[in-house]
Amino acid sequence: MAIITLGTMAFDAIETPFGKIDKIVGGSATYVAYSASHLTQPIQQISIVGNDFPDEEMNELKKRNVQLTGVEIVADQKSFFWSGKYHLDMNSRDTLITDLNVLANFKPKVPEEYQGAEFLMLGNLMPGLQISVIEQLRTRPKLVVLDTMNFWMETALDDLKKVLGMVDVLMINDSEARQLSGEFSLVKSAKRILQMGPKFLVIKKGEHGALLFHEDHVFFAPALPLEDVFDPTGAGDSFAGGFIGHIAKTKDISFENMKTAIIVGSALASFCVEKFGPQRLKEITKQDIDTRLSEFVQLVNFDIDLV
Ligand code: AMP
């Protein structure tokens, strides 16, 4: 089943306690596409790059049936650039540089051949652009998933509130949920956020897993305890790609199936953090993913006799 993905295709500079890299391909849509394409194809990408974005990367994406008709190439400008630094506790990071470059004048256009896609993944990007893509679709997709971040809560809250009223699932991390709701308790945060529009809310807690809220129900998925987390960049986007990839593959948008989808998302995220950039997502096979999924099953599987 086709998934439309919107987001950045970028260059990143990353510093972690374990290494440093000055320029590597990244971007929210890049990670979503690599991750989701392991589960379903085609992926119909909407993004923008400058004249510096490598052809090899475009070809790697095409090989995975990521369609690039919706990716605008601006001949005389640079791609979006982001730089971040992680502390020893890899759950927190500082953004050092956000250079919008081509993104500053981005007006996403949905190509005609993308019309009719049943799933839409709005990756992290200006909320106004996320709204524009939803409004261009003549048939509303079966499921619209939104990823966002604190940066947009601080700079584009009105648009963000508007897009929240147009989507089915919101994905944010715990500190963003607290910021958006003004509540410290994640349960209270979830209640508030579910009143803002989305029917489902995923709160990501980094190495502590993720919570899925819907009406009065809540489900918890752990993150796999990994010996080494090398670079968490893109983990959230890989999670999103795994989540929507599983939903599109199974064509089932029930709460029960979303439980499985957040485990699949967690599995994809667990690969992403093993190397810099999207490298691991390019290397892994279906067998690798299946093995990791069984590790998740083992992690939370136990028997108890209640007398
Ligand atoms: P994640 O670690 O999942 O939050 O995603 C990291 C990726 O998001 C990096 O590859 C960045 O290029 C990209 N990114 C960082 N800041 C932004 C932003 N404000 N809007 C869109 N993409 C961003």
pLDDT, tens digit (0-9, with 9 covering 90-100), for 67-90: 999 999 999 999 999 999 998 877
Enumerate the domain spans of the chain.
3-300
pLDDT in tens, 211-248: 999 999 999 999 999 888 889 999 999 999 999 999 99
As a whole number, mean pLDDT of residues 15-23 equals: 93
Contact of 64 with 33, CB cutoff 8 Å: yes
Would the CB of 27 count as within 6 Å of ligand 1? yes
Q: Cβ(165)–Cβ(199) under 8 Å?
A: no
Q: Is 122 in the pocket of ligand 1 (CB under 6 A)?
A: no
The predicted structure's pLDDT at residue 80: 98
pLDDT at 210 > cutoff 90: yes
**pLDDT grade, residue 307 (50/70/90)?**
confident
Q: Is the pLDDT of residue 91 over 80?
A: no
Percentage with pLDDT > 90 across the chain: 92
Query: For atom 16 of ligand 1, which residue has the closest CA?
Result: 82
What is the predicted pLDDT for the residue at 185? 97
Our answer on whether the CB atom of 90 is closer than 6 Å to any ligand 1 atom is no
pLDDT at 92: 79
Instruction: Give the residue whose CA is nearest to atom 13 of ligand 1.
Output: 27
> Which ligand 1 atom lies nearest to the CA of residue 152?
19
**Would you place residue 1 in the very low, low, confident or very high pLDDT band (cuts 50, 70, 90)?**
confident
Q: How far is the CA of 298 from the centre of ligand 1 (A)?
A: 32
Q: Does residue 27 surpass a pLDDT of 90?
A: yes
Per-residue pLDDT reduced to its tens digit, 100-145: 999 999 999 999 999 999 999 999 999 999 999 999 999 999 999 9
DSSP state of 79: P
Q: Is the CB of 28 under 6 A from ligand 1?
A: yes
Cα separation, 125 vs 261, in Å, equals 23
Q: Angle 165-149-184 (CA atoms, 0-180°, nearest 5)?
A: 85
pTM of the full structure: 0.96
Written out in words, the top-level CATH class of the domain with range 3-300 is alpha beta
